[in-house]
Each structure stands twice: as C-alpha cells, then as structure tokens.
C-alpha cells in the first residue's frame, strides 16, 4: 500500500512539474513573440532640414551650423529653393558617418556619399548615423559660392 501511495505521489509530482515547465515555456516563448516586433521596429529618426540657398539667390546654407550626436539616426532633408544648382559637400563628415540611404525623387541610393548636387527646386533625403565625434566643414564648391559665404560647420558630439 505504501508503494502505491508513493507511486501516486510521484505521478502527481511529475504532472505538476510537467505542467509547471509547460507554463514556464509558454511564458518565455510568448515574451519572445511579443518582444520581436519591438526589436524589429525601425529606430527613431530625427529630421533636420537644410536649404541650399534661397529664392533671393543668397549663397548660404540655412541653417549653416548643424549639430548631431554619435549613434543617433538622422534624416537630413535638403532642398534647393534657389534659381541655381548647389552642392552639399562635407566629405570628412560623410566619411565619419554610416549612410543608410539617400532618396531623391523615385531613386534610392545606398553606399558611401561624399556630396549631393541639388538642381533648382531639387530635394533629397539623406538617412545616416554619425559614428565619429568632431567638427567638419560644409561648403558648396561651385566657383564663387564658397567665397561668397556658402559654408557651414557640422558638429558631431559624443553625447
């Protein structure tokens, strides 16, 4: 009789442990399924708008002082409201950043970017993550534009 009671006790213990582990496994797998969309969601992006010149044909970047933080994702929205083409040239800045993509019209460009040319009325979006702190020069290298003041400063801070 004692052996029968021990057998029943072991049976219920196994059932309890089996049910306990099943519930625990369900909770762990459920958490994994629920947390996956959060992990796969695109990181937050900060939009920064810069105009290359203006309708009065001033040779300036608006704004001409840009601030970024290492590791944060940005979308630089460039437009050219002026009647002439301009370049957004910041080679050292581009070398210190990881470019996800550049979009212009219906074209998406991937890979290293060193400068962008915007024709009158043109727009482009540059999505990137700054990787190296420092101060980097910005300019439009069209003859006479840099000398007229179409320059800027890009600062990447560590935090």
Same domain, 70 and 37: no
Same domain, 49 and 37: no
Same domain, 129 and 64: yes
Q: How confident is the model at residue 112 (pLDDT cuts 50, 70, 90)?
A: confident
- Express each pLDDT in 79-108 by its tens digit: 999 999 999 999 999 999 999 999 998 888
Reduced to 3 states (helix: H, G, I; strand: E, B; else coil), residue 135 is: strand
The predicted structure's pLDDT at residue 107:
86
Structure-token match 């219906």, residue found: 106
Of 69, 123, 59, residue with least CA distance to 96: 69
The predicted structure's pLDDT at residue 60:
97
* Higher pLDDT, residue 41 or 137: 137
The model's pTM is 0.72
> What is the C-alpha to C-alpha distance for residues 84 and 80, in angstroms, rounded to an integer?
8
The mean pLDDT value for 144-158 works out to 97
- The boundaries of the domain holding residue 4 are 1-41
CB 126 within 8 A of CB 48: no
Pairing of strands 123-130, 73-79: antiparallel
Question: What CATH number does residue 69 fall under?
Answer: 2.60.40.420
The mean pLDDT value for 62-81 works out to 97
Same domain, 75 and 139: yes
Provide the number of structural domains found in the chain: 2
């Amino acid at each position: 009789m004692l052996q029968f009671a021990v057998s029943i006790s072991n049976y219920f213990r196994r059932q309890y442990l089996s049910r306990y582990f099943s519930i625990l496994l369900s909770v762990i797998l459920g958490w994994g399924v629920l947390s996956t969309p959060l992990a796969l969601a695109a990181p937050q992006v900060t939009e920064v708008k810069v105009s290359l010149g203006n309708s009065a044909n001033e040779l300036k970047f608006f704004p001409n002082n840009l601030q970024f933080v290492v590791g944060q994702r940005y979308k630089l929205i460039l437009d050219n409201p002026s009647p002439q083409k301009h370049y957004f040239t910041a080679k050292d800045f581009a070398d210190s950043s990881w470019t996800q993509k550049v979009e212009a019209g219906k074209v998406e460009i991937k890979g290293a970017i060193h400068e962008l040319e915007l024709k009158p009325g043109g727009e482009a979006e540059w999505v990137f993550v700054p990787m190296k702190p420092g101060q980097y020069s910005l300019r439009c290298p069209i003859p006479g534009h840099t000398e007229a003041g179409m320059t800027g400063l890009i600062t990447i801070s560590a935090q």
